[in-house]
Amino acid sequence: MKILDILSVLESIAPPHLQESYDNAGLIVGDPNAEVRGVLFCLDSTEAIVEEAVARGCNLIVAHHPIIFRGLKRLNGATYIERTVMQAVRQDVAIYAIHTNLDNVYKQGVNSKIAEKIGLVDTRILAPKPADFEIGAGLLGNLPKPMAEADFLQHLKTALNTQCIRHTALRGKPVRKVAVCGGAGSFLLSEALRAKADAFVSADFKYHEFFDAEGRLVIADVGHFESEQFTIELLHGIVREKFPTFALHLTNLNTNPVFYC
């Protein structure tokens, strides 16, 4: 089986043309026609991830975040990006990223996985693309039963395995309708407000952006890595369904660069 066969399965769920203009999803390193020996799924490609792939007999890394966003002018090992790419080339390990195209699909997308972990039902795309309500940013759904805001935040901590949640002031109102967006989602706050969500679960909110909630919902910033960590399981499951006996591995490494004191 070739690397291209694995990529075809992934792209049948999240076609490359669905990625945002700033993104760099796709095969970043490697030959699509090379024989694939094993696949390692991760959130971020790093030097340690390449080492892990080699140690586990994998010559294809499937990551959520692209290791290269902008063009590289040099490859001399000055940055972790350059070192990771150089190491992958040396070890003959391909690197593939499936990023905003996976964010933008409804079924089997990043946000549907978050909604599943939280336990949301009756979900739909929060900000659908024109003429297609199955494609777009974020997700909106309901909790099976309303929860007190403090209880909901504790539920998030457990469900999303996060050590810290930054949030706006609690309003003293129950939480039932919840908007979610994996990764940096502040650009969807206006959509969450328009949908009359009680809470918006996302990450990477800046200080002044918390004011924009204006007491109309609770922003719950759970952390970038924490919001997307289950994408690894999602990708593994998509490929496992097609190739149940092939060598597919979830990374054993935590690539979150953020630590909490």
CATH number of the CATH domain containing 131: 3.40.1390.30
In this prediction, residue 70 carries a pLDDT of 84
Total Cβ atoms within 10 A of residue 110: 28
60 shares its domain with 113: no
- The amino acid present at 6, given as its one-letter code, is I
Mean pLDDT calculated for residue range 56-75: 94
119-165 pLDDT, tens digit each: 999 999 999 998 888 999 999 999 999 999 999 999 999 999 999 99
Q: What percent of the chain has pLDDT over 70?
A: 100
Residues 132, 163 share a domain: yes
Confidence band for 66, pLDDT divided at 50, 70 and 90 = very high
Residues 84 and 112 in one domain: no
Domain total in the chain: 2
> Which of 43, 67, 99 corresponds to the end of one domain?
99
Indicate the range of 71-75, 159-163, 175-179, 223-227 predicted with least confidence.
Answer: 71-75
User: What is the pLDDT confidence band of residue 181, given thresholds at 50, 70 and 90?
Assistant: very high
**2 has which bridge partners?**
35
Nearest CA among 94, 133, 98, 140 for reference residue 118: 140
Indicate if 169 and 200 belong to the same structural domain. Answer: yes
Share of the chain above pLDDT 90, in %: 96
Mark whether 60 and 141 lie in a shared domain.
no
Cβ atoms of residues 220 and 167 within 8 Å: yes
Nearest 10 degrees: Cα torsion 72, 74, 78, 82: 50
Q: Tell whether 192 is covered by a domain.
A: yes
Domain co-membership, 137 together with 91: no
- Residue 243 near residue 39 (C-beta atoms within 8 A): no
Q: Indicate whether 178 pLDDT > 90.
A: yes
Clarify whether residues 182 and 82 are in a common domain: no
Residue range 3-52, pLDDT digits in tens: 999 999 999 999 999 999 999 999 999 999 999 999 999 999 999 999 99
In terms of domains, do 91 and 126 share one?
A: no
Write the pLDDT tens digit of every residue in 100-115.
999 999 989 999 999 9
Whether residue 258 lies inside any domain: the answer is: no
DSSP class of residue 105 equals B
Same domain, 186 and 209: yes
Burial of 179 (0-12, 13-18, 19+ CB in 10 A): buried
Query: Which range of residues forms the domain containing residue 88?
Result: 3-99
Asked if residue 117 and residue 76 are part of one domain, the reply reads no
Tell me whether residue 251 is in a domain. Answer: no
- Residue 46 belongs to some domain of the structure: yes
| Adjacent-strand bridge partners of 93 | none
If you average pLDDT over residues 232-260, what whole number do you get? 97
Residues 80 and 163 in one domain: no
Predicted confidence at residue 132, as pLDDT, reads: 86
Spatial neighbors of 46 by CB under 8 A, at least 6 apart, are: 80, 84, 253, 255
Let me know if residue 245 belongs to a domain.
no
**What number of other Cβ atoms are within 10 A of residue 14's Cβ?**
24
- State whether 93 and 123 are in the same domain: no
Strand pairing of 175-184 and 199-203? parallel
Distances (CA, A) of 123 to 4, 32, 152, 249: 32, 35, 18, 30
